[in-house]
Amino acid sequence: MKQIKGPGIFLAQFVGDEAPFNNYANLCKWASDLGYKAVQLPSWDDKIMDLSKAAESKTYCDELAGIAAEHGLEISELSTHLQGQLVAVHPAYDELFDNFAPDNIKGNARAKQQWATSQLLDAAKASANLGLNAHATFSGALLWQTVYPWPQRPDGLVEVGFKELGERWLPILNAFEDAGTDVCYELHPGEDLHDGITFERFLEATNNHQRANILYDPSHFLLQQLDYLAFIDIYHERIKAFHVKDAEFRPDGRCGVYGGYGSWLERAGRFRSLGDGQVDFTQIFSKLTQYGYDGWAVLEWECCIKHPEDGAAEGVPFINKHLIRPAEKSFDDFAGGEQDNERNLRVLGLTEE
C-alpha cells in the first residue's frame, strides 16, 4: 500500500490585503509555521502567481517552487476553480459569474469561455513546468438550472448538454495529457459534474479520457446525502486529489437540502471546520489508503462559524492524526511458515495414500 501525503492547505480562502496573507512568500511562511507540508495554489490570484508567466517560463516556476521549498513546502496542485467554471456557463448565470472574469470581457459570454479555455491550457503547461501530476478545477455547467426536473426536461436535453461539455473539455484534457497531469474535477453542486452519475456521463462524453479524474471532497457529498464512503469504493481509481473539508447536515421541520435561500449559517447543510462536522474522516483515510491513494490531503477551509486562522491551525494536527502509515507485513505473519507445496496438498486432502 502507498501512503497519503500531508498535510497540505489550499491558499484561496486565506489570501488578503494584510500580512501574512498579502503575498505568496508570506503565505508560505505562515503555512509552514503552522506545520503544513504543501500548498495548493489558486492560479487566478496575482498575489500568488502569474499563470501566463508560469506557462511560458520554467525559470519562473522554479522560483515559485523554490519559495515554497525555502519554507519546507511543496506545491501540491494548481487550482483553476474560477476559470474552469467559465468553460461552461448557462445564460441564466452569465452575469453572476462576471466576477470570475477580467474586467475587459465581462458581459461577453463567448469571450469569457475563450479566456477560460486559454487559462486551462496555460495551467496544463504551468503544471508541467512545476512537475505536478494533478490539477484541481471545476467543470462548469450548462444543465444545472434543470437539476430539479420541473418543468420536465425535454427528451435528449441531458445528452446534448454533456456532449457539448465534453467537446469543450476535450482539447483541455488533451493538453493535460501532453503535460502528464490529471485534471481533477471537484464534484460540486452548481457544476454539471456534481456526483458519481454525472461524472460517468462526462467520461462517456470524453471517450473515458484517462486525464478526466476526481478531486474527492466529502463535504459536498454529505450535503447531497450521498454515501461518500461507498463513492470511494466505486471511483477510487479516478480519485487523484483530495480536499479535507468537513460539513454537517441537520434538517428540521422548516429547512432541508435546498436551504430555504438562507445564509450558510441558517442552512440545514453547512460547511464546518475539521472535526466540527459529521464527516467520518477515519473511514475516508482508511479507504483511500487501502486503495493506494498517494496524493496530498489538502485542507480546504470553509466554515460558517469558526475563524479561518483557527480552522487552519487546527487542520494540521487533525490531518496528521488521520494519516496512516501502511503496514509492511501482515499482522499474523509470525504464525506462518515457508511455502511447502507437498504440505499444502496434504492439508487439502489431495495426496494419494
Q: In whole angstroms, give the CA distance from residue 125 to residue 128.
A: 5
Burial environment of residue 250 by CB neighbours within 10 A (0 to 12, 13 to 18, 19 or more): exposed
Give the cell for residue 17: 490585503
φ, ψ of residue 7 to 5 degrees: the values are -85, 150
Give the cell for residue 60: 519562473
- Residue whose cell numbers read 483553476: 80
**Residue 328's pLDDT is what?**
80
**Residue 155's pLDDT is what?**
97
The letter for the amino acid at 106 is K
Whether pTM > 0.75 for this model: the answer is yes
**Residue 113's pLDDT is what?**
98
Q: In whole angstroms, give the CA distance from residue 159 to residue 86.
A: 20
Helix, strand or coil, per DSSP, at residue 329: coil
Give the cell for residue 325: 502509515
CATH number for the region 5-347 comes to 3.20.20.150
Q: In whole angstroms, give the CA distance from residue 236 to residue 240.
A: 8
What does each of the 353 residues of the chain score in pLDDT, given as a tens digit?
Answer: 899 999 999 999 999 999 999 999 999 999 999 999 999 999 999 999 999 999 999 999 999 999 999 999 999 999 999 999 999 999 999 999 999 999 999 999 999 999 999 999 999 999 999 999 999 999 999 999 999 999 999 999 999 999 999 999 999 999 999 999 999 999 999 999 999 999 999 999 999 999 999 999 999 999 999 999 999 999 999 999 999 999 999 999 999 999 999 999 999 999 999 999 999 999 999 999 999 999 999 999 999 999 999 999 999 999 999 999 998 877 777 777 788 898 889 889 998 76
- Residue whose cell numbers read 473515458: 208
* Of the candidates 250, 182, 190, the residue with the CA atom closest to the CA atom of residue 222: 250
Largest separation between any pair of C-alpha atoms in the chain: 89
